[in-house]
Structure 1
Amino acid sequence: MLLGRTQEVRYLENNYKKSGNQLIVMYGRENIGKTSLIMEFCREKLFSYYLARPCSELEQLKLWAGEVGQDKVRPEYSSIFPEILSEGSSKFILVIDEFHNIVKNSELFMREIVNFIHNRYHDRPVMVILCSSSVGFVENSLVTKIGEAAYEITGFLEVRELGFLELSGCFRKYSMRQCVELYAVLGGVPGLWQYVSDDVDVRGNICRAILKKGAVLRTEAERYVSQELREPAVYHTILNCIAAGKRKLNDLYLETGFSRAKISVYLKNLTELEIVEKISSMDTAGRDNAMKGIYRIRSPYVNFWFRFVFANYSKLELMTEEEFYDMYIAPEFDAYAAGVFPVVCREYLNRLNQAGRLPIKCEKSGRWIGKNGTIDIMAMDREGRTLLGACGFSEDEMTYENYQKLLSVMKQARVKADYIYLFSAGEFDDELQTLAQRESNIELIRLSQL
């Protein structure tokens, strides 16, 4: 089975087994593994695959016709579709990858797809999968663009990033700490994982796959931001400022000189593409003590690039990648990875919650960001019972003082904890271990357990 995509394959299989014809729209960012997922699903089934290119409709038709063995000066969909059907009576799958490259330039394409699924060219059941890496187009423009053809869509499948568990399963030679560090750089994008190896430490992988001249990932962050967004210079400016700690709208206004209205529009676009997110605290009685209107870069690789490389690019040109890493990345890298550690811990708790292994059935979860401290994990059940968590990554051990800090922030949030989960990438001091033995509602969880 394809790593970490059991639910997605099951979704496609369930649709395939339905009677009649299906039209599925699958989408997700580049390098997320959509094509691998499709190939896994189509294995041992009758299917045809076409990758649409960014070109005119006529050129698209010529390319497609050439791939199915036609040699026509002006081919049409009506001549291509009958050619792609293989012999047999079982359900046939037609996959059109990056279909937005056709839809954006064609008024006819979707009408012909509707004709295809309505058996105009054949008399057998079919399943059409329209796949796209243009997340913004699918979520914001597709339905308007294709009009009534949208009623023919029988399902949408968003292919999202994989979790920390899948990454740690791929890099088995790494310690769990190294896996957290790598996850903080590459996130859950398997297409980026292929460029690194657990035969090399994290520093070596960053130097070789990201910082080295000619490295595949050296231009990835800026290319990814620019592929769906106009005016990349404006977006790069905003991202560079957020990475430097300017996380509120007014801070960005003062730093960039752009109007607040303009910044708001660009932040909205970045949020829709899941590059940036607006952080919100869970609602508590201490809402007046919570920070509001904070933005952060959600995409780990984009965050890493703008945090460490973008502002220091001139130095990278003049230094070896190892020298650059040691001077500009190493001093702050531990603190950077610590910011991602709560994401890993929340994923762990989500798995326990789904398996029914938490003391409460969490219905909503998040965090609380105060003016003088943060509660890394906050989860509640329907009755209002609360589970809180604190995550420590940078210290050699989590201490009783860290626990007292959590209690202090809880007072600011005006929330009480029925259960407390403390996560540490190191050890726990003796006082905390004694406390956990005495108090049954306190759990100590080490990195190795994740």
Structure 2
Amino acid sequence: MTFYDREAELDTLTAAVESPGSDFIVVYGRRRVGKTELLKEFCANRPHIYFLAAQEAEHRQREKFLDQIADHFDERVPRIDSWDGVFEYLGEQLQREDLVVVIDEFPHLVAENDSLPSYVQGFVDQELDGTDSMLVLCGSSVSTMESEILGHESPLYGRRTAQLDVTPFSFRQAREVISYDIQDAIRSYAVTGGTPMYLTLFDYTQSLAANIRSHMLSPSAVLYNEPEFLLRTELRNPARYMSILEAVALGHTTPNEISGATGIDSGPLSKYLQTLRRLRLIQRDVPVTATGKKSKRSRYRVADEFLRFWFRYVEPNRSSIEEAPDIVYDGTIAPDLPTHVATTFEEVCQEAVWEAVRRGDFEPYSEVGRWWYREDEIDIVGLAPNDDRILFAECKWTSEPVGTSLAENLRTKAGNVRWGPDDREEYFALFSKSGFVDGLEDQLDEHWSLCSLTEIDDLLTPS
């Protein structure tokens, strides 16, 4: 498979391995985000041992790891029947040769022996220290990695020299993979999100509709049951979590709305929401102007475009998909897809704002996010507190060009945003899928920016 992007992560690993002394790196993130491909790319031209743990008995895991160590050093496999013995043997070999040692899916080892972090601690303190080697522990179970390695109670706490939280690609990063034109690229990203494995499954010589039918509406397709496998990686009983994700994907975004849609009381619901947030499956938003994180105007959203699509269209229609997938696509998905994509478009436009700031096309802002109060909402608001400057932007994924009414409406809503002094400097931007009516630009002053798909493409398509 082609390796895409991840330059920042590779730079971090390269800088660590080329610096003097030993390194202990922790790499984690959800399934399918490309952790293994990242580590294989990093190890490709370096002496290394790469061990992929499996869900099997502890003694078999230990034997296979020992086999790989002995094989690398071209030695007969010694008889060792304990983890501390295996790590001691590895430490002896590292006195002969500096290596990158990768243990992938480390949580599988911990599941069979929860004392393993203590053995690794001993190895890091006694065997790895004093060498120029690197140990990398990698895992897809975010909860296990954060508790058993990064957590305060872990024997390994404070020993890592770096950590990489590998996240899905932004739209700009995903654009390298998605070879559709900009409009279909945004529509496609609204389906796959930025997870590399999902992105590379799609055949971009085929239409988006064909890809959805073959990869998401077929019971034999990988993506048809993918969210269930993802949740089972982290949760023993995912049913209630799935009902919450479905409710949020269908537009129930406040705790009261989620409780009403799922039948889960507010007390237990808060714990479920907290778990889903910790696993990065949902995100809690507050208005960008809110002070403090405890704003009562919080809303929740599914934090991944693929999961949002799946819980909006696949999970509620499983029975129908089993019988007549084409009818589900033509009758349910296709008519509603523009509404779904409109939310993704707002995220893409936020990326465009940040990129425009980096290029100097927009004035700088320290925070960019949504704003709402009662019935008023603004898709993007940017704040520059040190300069008393504020940006207001609307994003329209509609079939008609944007006209003066949207500009006037945005200016009116901007007056309701309580932030900064009365003489704050205000800037405005309109993002539109279908462009703008003739003459609109002439009616607006230099504080306004109009961004069509062409401008967004220029900002977010890597050269």
Which residue number corresponds to residue 266 of structure 2? 260
Change (3 A) 1:110 1:309: closer
* 1:368 partner amino acid: W
Tell me which residue corresponds to 1:372.
375
Q: How far apart, in 2, do the equivalents of 1:284 and 1:106 lie?
A: 45
Cα deviation, residue 225, structure 1: 2.4
Q: Which amino acid aligns with 2:417?
A: A
Query: In the TM superposition, what is the alpha-carbon distance from 1:110 to its structure 2 partner?
Result: 3.2
Q: Distance in 1 between matches of 2:147 and 2:374?
A: 35
| TM score, norm. by length of structure 2 | 0.88
- 1:340-419 correspondence runs (5 A): 340-355=344-359, 357-381=360-384, 382-414=386-418, 418-419=426-427
Task: Give 1:79 shift.
Answer: 3.9
Query: CA deviation digits over 1:392-424, x for unaligned, max 9?
Result: 112331121111221232233246662112111
Identity of aligned residues (%): 25
Residue 136 of structure 1 corresponds to 143
1:37-86 Cα offsets, whole Å, 9 max, x none, are 11221221111000112234323212323444537483645346646987
Q: Which moved more, 1:201-210 or 1:243-252?
A: 243-252
Task: Map 1:163-312; keep pairs closer than 5 Å.
Answer: 163-172=170-179, 174-283=180-289, 292-312=297-317
Q: CA deviation at 1:352?
A: 2.6
**Deviation (angstroms), 1:88:** 9.3
RMSD: 2.6
Residue 149 of structure 1 aligns to a residue whose secondary structure is coil
CA distance in 2, matches of 1:89, 1:428: 67
Q: Secondary structure at the match of 1:347?
A: helix
Q: Which moved more, 1:188-197 or 1:109-118?
A: 109-118
Q: CA deviation at 1:248?
A: 1.8
**Judging changes above 3 Å, is the alpha-carbon distance between structure 1 residues 393 and 16 closer, same or farther for their aligned structure 2 residues?**
same
**Map of 2:460 onto structure 1:** none
Q: How does 1:429-448 map to 2 (within 5 A)?
A: 429-436=437-444, 439-448=445-454
Alpha-carbon separation, structure 2, partners of 1:246 and 1:4 = 35
Q: Contact 1:82–1:122 (CA<8 Å) still a contact in 2?
A: no
2:459 equivalent in structure 1: none
Alpha-carbon distance in structure 2 between the residues aligned to 1:151 and 1:279:
31
Partner amino acid for 1:28? G
TM (norm. structure 1) is: 0.90
8 Å Cα contact 1:180/1:341 also seen in 2: yes
Q: Secondary structure at the match of 2:201?
A: coil
Structure 2 unaligned regions, length at least 5: 72-76, 457-463
Give, in angstroms, the shift of residue 143 of structure 1. 4.0
- Is 410-419 or 53-62 further displaced after alignment? 410-419
Tell me if 1:428 matches 2:436.
yes
In the TM superposition, what whole-angstrom CA distance separates every residue of 1:413-441 from its partner, at most 9, and x where no partner exists?
A: 246662112111111012422224xx111
Matches within 5 A, 1:144-163: 144=151, 147-163=154-170
Q: What amino acid sits opposite 2:226 in the alignment?
A: E
Q: Secondary structure at the match of 2:443?
A: helix
Please tell me the residue identity of whatever aligns with 2:55: P
Amino acid at match of 1:337: V
- Is residue 2:66 matched to residue 1:60? no
Question: Bigger CA drift: 60-69 or 390-399?
Answer: 60-69
Cα distance in 2 for partners of 1:177, 1:291 equals: 36
Change (3 A) 1:71 1:215: farther
Amino acid at match of 2:365: C
Aligned partner (choices 133, 136, 139) of residue 126 of structure 1: 133
Which stretch shifts more, 161-170 or 8-17? Answer: 161-170
Distance in 2 (CA, whole Å) between partners of 1:350 and 1:91 is 41
For 2:154 and 2:126, the matched residues in 1 are separated by 21
Work out the CA distance in 1 between the residues paired with 2:131 and 2:391.
53
Alignment-derived partner of residue 342 in structure 2:
338
Which of 103-112 and 426-435 deviates more?
Answer: 103-112
Change (3 A) 1:265 1:141: farther
Q: Tell me the distance in 2 between the aligned counterparts of 1:167 and 1:67.
A: 35
Unpaired runs of at least 5, structure 1: none
Question: Any idea what the Cα deviations from partners look like across 1:257-278, whole Å, max 9, x if unmatched?
Answer: 2211111111111111111112
Residue 323 (str. 1) matches residue 330 (str. 2) = no
Change (3 A) 1:304 1:32: same
Deviation at 1:308, TM superposition (A): 1.1
On the 8 A contact 1:48/1:84 being kept in 2, the answer is no
C-alpha distance in structure 2 between counterparts of 1:156 and 1:2, whole Å: 21
Provide closer, same or farther for how the CA distance between residues 157 and 295 of structure 1 changes in structure 2, counting only shifts above 3 A: same
Deviations 1:294-348 (A, max 9, x none): 22212211111111121121111221x3222001101110110011101111112
